[in-house]
Amino acid sequence: MALFGHEELAGIVFWATLVGIAGALASVVFRAGIRLCIRVFSGYWPYSEHGSGLVDVAVRLPWWHRAIMPVVGGLLAGGILLLLRRRFVSSQAADYIEAVNVSDGRIGFRASILKSLGSMLTIASGGSIGREGSMVQLAAMLGSRIGQLARAPVPRLRLMVACGVAAGIAAAYNAPISGALFTSEIVLGSMSMESFVPLVISSVISNATLSRVVHVSPVFTVPHVTVANNWELVFYILLGVLLGHIAPPFLALLDFSKAQFVKLKLPVYFQLALGGLGVGLISVFVPEVWGNGYSVVSHMLLGDVIGWSLLVILLAKVVATASTVGSGGVGGVLTPSLFIGTAVGTLFGGALHWLMPRLISQPVAFGVIGMGGFLAATTQAPLTSILMIFEMTVDYNVVLPLMLTCVTAYFTAKVYRHGNSVYTATLAQAIVAEHGDDWRVRTVQPLIKPAPVVVARETPLAEVFDRLARRPVRRVYVTDGEELVAWFRPREVHERLQKGEISWDAPAGSVAAPVNEALAPEMSLTEALDAFLREKARTLPVTPGQWRYTLLGEVARDDVLLAIRDRLTVTQ
C-alpha cells in the first residue's frame, strides 16, 4: 500500500526540504558548541591555520592537562545524563532507530537536547567518540517535531524522522548520497522510491544549506588511488577478509567494556569520569586518541604515520574508544570505525609493500579502502560504505577495490556476528549464556531483570526515598504481601512531596496507581511491544500471569525492541 498519494507529493517534498534545512543548522550549532567547549576546557580554539582539530589541541597541552581534561568532561556529562534520567523521563522514543521502526515517530525534545549536551562535553574534553551520533539525533528529533507540527500521521511522521537522519549524516560527512542510503539501508532496513525520494531531498538540502552557512571542506585529505595491476585486487580481497575478522572482536570489546562498567554500579557521573580517566592516561603518551581523529586519519592517508608508531596509535585508539563507549559516553562509533579501518588498511598495505615493493606501488591506498571495509563490517551496510568512501574521495579508481573489500568484509563479519551490527544492542551475550546458540528471543523470558525497588503498601514514603537516594529508577513497585498491586513514578511523587501535597509519612500505597498492564514470561515479543505501546511505558512489570500475581521482575522496552531487531536480522 502506498505511503502517500500523488496529491501529497508536493507536501512531503516541502516538509522534507524543511527537515533538511533544520538538520544542517542543528549540525552547525552542535559543531560551534563543541568548539566553544574545547576553548573552555583547554584555553585553545580547536581550529587555526596551524592546527587541524582536537588532537592538535591535545599536543599543545601539558601532560597533566591531557590526563585530567577527559575526567572533568566525563563528570559534567554524567551530571547532565543523571539529570536526564531523574527529571526528564518520557514515554517518547529516545532513539531515532526506535522511533522509525516500531514507535510512533515521536522523539523527546528535552531528552535529545540533554543527551546532545552530554555528548558535546564528552567529545570536547577528549572522549574517543564521534560527533555524528548527536548530529543525527538532533536532526532526527527536529524531523519528528516538524512532522508533529504538520500533524503528520504515524507512517509519515516516521518518514520525517528518517529524513532527519539522512540530513544529519549528510551534514556530518559532507556526503548527501550516503546520508540517504544510510537511512534506507540501516535505519529503514529496506528501500522504496516512496521513502527514498524524500530522503534524498533532505540529504541534498542539508548538504547545500551547510555549504551556504559554513565553508564545507572534505572530511579527510585523501590521496589519489591507483591500482597498478589486476593482481593487486587479490590483496584487497584479503584486506576485506582481515577486516571482517577484526570487526567482531572490536564490537565484542565494546560490549565487554559496557558490561564491566555496569558491574561497578557507580553513579553515572563517576562512571563517565572513570572512562575519561582511561582516555586521559592513554593520551598522556598517545595524544592522537582524542576526539574523532579526523586529522590523524588524514595524516595516515598522506603516509605521515607509518610502521610501529601507527600500530601503537591504533591499539591506543581501540582501548580509548572502548573506555569512552563502555563508560556510557554519548556519541557515534561510525568515525572511530573509519579510524580503525584506515589504520589497519595502512598497516596491511605497508607490510605488503615491504614484502613486494614492485607489486604494491601505493600502500596508503589500502588505508583508503580499509576505511570502507571496516565500516561495512561493523555496520553490516556495504552499499552505504562503498558510496560514503566514494563521496569522500571523489575518485572513481577506488570503486573496484572498494567494492571487493567492502563486500568481503561484510560477509566475513556476518559469519561471526550473524548480521548483528554496531547499531544493534548487545543482548546476544546474555541470551547466549542462558539459551546457547539459539539466541533469537521469542518470548520476554530471557529479558527479565530484577525489579529495582519493591516496597510494601504500608511503607512510609520517607523510607522509600531513603532507599532511592543512590539509584534513580523509573518505577517503584508496591506489593501486598507477595502480590503486586500498584506502582508509582518516584519523580512525580517527589514533586508532590516538595509542594506539600502529600506527607512524607504517607504510605506508599496511597500514592500508587493500580497495575493496568503486566507482561508474562511466555508472552511473545510482539505482544509485549503492543503492551508497551498501549501503556506508553519504558518498563513494565512481569508476573506469572497478566493480572495481580507475584512480581517476577521487569522488562525494558528498549530490550524488547532490540531483541526484535536481532530476530529480524538473523531471519533475513
Annotate 180-217 with b (16+ C-beta within 10 A) or e (fewer). Answer: bbbbbbbbbeeeeeebbebbbbbbbbbbebbeeeeeee
β-partners of residue 455 are: 478
User: 48 has which bridge partners?
Assistant: 51
At 422 the three-state DSSP class reads coil
DSSP lists the bridge partners of residue 130 as 332
Q: Please, what is the average pLDDT of the chain?
A: 80
pLDDT tens for 401-447 read 899 999 999 989 887 755 555 555 433 443 443 344 443 446 777 78
What is the average pLDDT across 152-177? Answer: 84
Higher pLDDT, 428 or 150: 150
**Residue 223 cell numbers, joined:** 590521496
pLDDT tens string 20-44: 999 999 988 998 898 899 888 888 7
Bridge partners for 454 per DSSP: 477
Strand positions, DSSP E, 419-501: 454-456, 476-480, 483-488
pLDDT value for 418: 54
Report yes or no: 80 and 112 within 8 Å, Cβ to Cβ.
Answer: no
Confidence of residue 50 (pLDDT cuts 50, 70, 90): very low
Q: Which domains does the chain have, with CATH numbers?
A: 6-213 (1.10.3080.10), 232-431 (1.10.3080.10), 437-571 (3.10.580.10)
SS3 breakdown of the chain: % helix, strand, coil, rounded to 5? 65, 5, 30
pLDDT higher than threshold 80 for residue 459: yes
pLDDT digits (tens, 9 = 90+) for 376-402: 998 888 888 898 888 887 778 888 889
How far is Cα 121 from Cα 373, in angstroms, rounded to an integer? 30
Q: What is the largest CA-CA distance in the chain?
A: 84
Q: What CA–CA distances, in Å, run from 468 to 169, 497, 505?
A: 40, 14, 16
| pLDDT on residue 429 | 41
pLDDT of residue 318: 93
Distance CA 168, CA 173 (A): 9
Chain centroid to Cα 85, Å, comes to 18
Band of pLDDT at residue 485, cut at 50, 70 and 90: confident
DSSP 503-514: -TTSBGGGTPEE
485 CB neighbour count, 10 Å cutoff: 16
- Listed in sequence order, the residues at least 6 apart from 389 whose beta carbon sits closer than 8 Å to its beta carbon are 368, 369, 371, 372, 375, 398, 402
485: closest CA among 509, 459, 461, 501? 509
Provide the pLDDT for residue 437: 41
Q: How far is CA 421 from CA 32, 170, 376, in A?
A: 31, 21, 9
Predicted confidence (pLDDT) per residue in 504-549, tens digit? 888 888 888 888 788 877 777 777 888 888 888 888 888 875 445 6
Does the structure show a pLDDT above 60 at 60? yes
Residue 176, C-beta contacts closer than 8 angstroms, at least 6 positions apart: 170, 200, 203, 204, 206, 207, 391
Give the tens place of pLDDT for each residue, 283-304: 999 998 988 878 888 888 887 8
Of the candidate ranges 118-132, 149-163, 337-351, 426-440, the one whose mean pLDDT is the lowest: 426-440
Question: Which of helix, strand or coil describes residue 174?
Answer: coil
CA-closest candidate to residue 218, choices 355, 390, 88? 390
pLDDT tens-digit map of 311-328? 999 999 999 999 998 888
Model pLDDT, residue 347: 92
CA triplet 282, 385, 111: central angle to 5 degrees? 65
- Non-local (6+) Cβ contacts of 289 within 8 A are 126, 128, 279, 282, 283, 313, 316, 317, 320
What secondary structure letter does DSSP report for 523?
-
C-alpha 362, offset from chain centre: 34
The band of 5, judged by pLDDT with boundaries at 50, 70 and 90, is very low
